[in-house]
Amino acid sequence: MSKKYSVEKSRDEWKKELSEAAFRVLRKKGTEPAFNNDYFANDKPGIYHCAGCGQELFSSEDKYKSGSGWPSFTRPASKEVVETEIDNTMGMQRIEVHCSQCGGHLGHLFKDGPQPTGLRYCLNSAALDFIAEVNN
Ligand code: FE
C-alpha cells in the first residue's frame, strides 16, 4: 500500500496493539472462518467500528442475514468510511474493502446483495468492534 492514511502505524505498533485475530485480518488481509466469528449472527442494534482505528464503519440497520457465515451489510455507514480496490489473489477477481482512515483490510464487496443497493459487504468480525446502542 503506497497510499497515505490519516492513521498510520508501523507493523510492530499494530502487532502490539491489535489482537492476533485482528492483526491477521486488518494488516495481513487474512480471512476468518465462516460461521466461527463473533458477529455473523449478531442482530443487536448498534455500530460496528474499525478494530484498528475506531472509525464508525457499518450500522446494524444495514446488516442482513446473507447465510455466508460472515457479517454482511448492504452499505457502509457513510460513503467516506470505506475504500475499495481490485484484488486478484486466490485465482479470482474480487473487490477488496478497507477502512479509509487506517487502511485496515475489512473484507470484500460482492454484487449479489439485496435491494435497494444490490451490494454485499462481506466482512471479517475480527476487523470490527461492535458497540451496542444504548436505550435511554
Ligand atoms: Fe480503521
Dihedral over Cα of 128, 75, 41, 85: its sign: negative
Residue 38 to residue 113: CA distance in whole angstroms:
21
Domain ranges in the chain are: 33-132
Distance (Å, whole) CA 123 – CA 90:
17
What pTM was computed for the model? 0.95
- Phi and psi at 45, nearest 5°, equal -75, 140
Q: Which residues surround ligand 1, an ion (CB under 5 A)?
A: 50, 52-53, 55, 99, 101-102, 104
Average pLDDT over residues 73-82: 98
| Cα end-to-end span (Å), the chain | 43
Instruction: Evaluate if residue 1 carries a pLDDT over 90.
Output: no
Percent of the chain's residues with pLDDT above 70: 97
122 labelled catalytic: yes
For residue 108, report the distance from its CA to the centre of ligand 1, in Å.
15
CA of 129 to the centre of ligand 1 (A): 11
What is the architecture, at CATH level 2, of domain 33-132? Beta Complex (2.170)
User: Where does the pLDDT of residue 135 fall: very low under 50, low under 70, confident under 90, or very high at 90 and above?
Assistant: confident
What would the grid cell of residue 28 be? 495481513
Distance 21 CA to ligand 1 centre (A): 15
Please calculate the CA angle 24-8-13 and round it to the nearest 5 degrees: 55
Contact (Cβ atoms closer than 8 angstroms) between residue 5 and residue 101: yes
Indicate whether 51 pLDDT > 70: yes
Cα(29)–Cα(23) distance, integer angstroms: 9
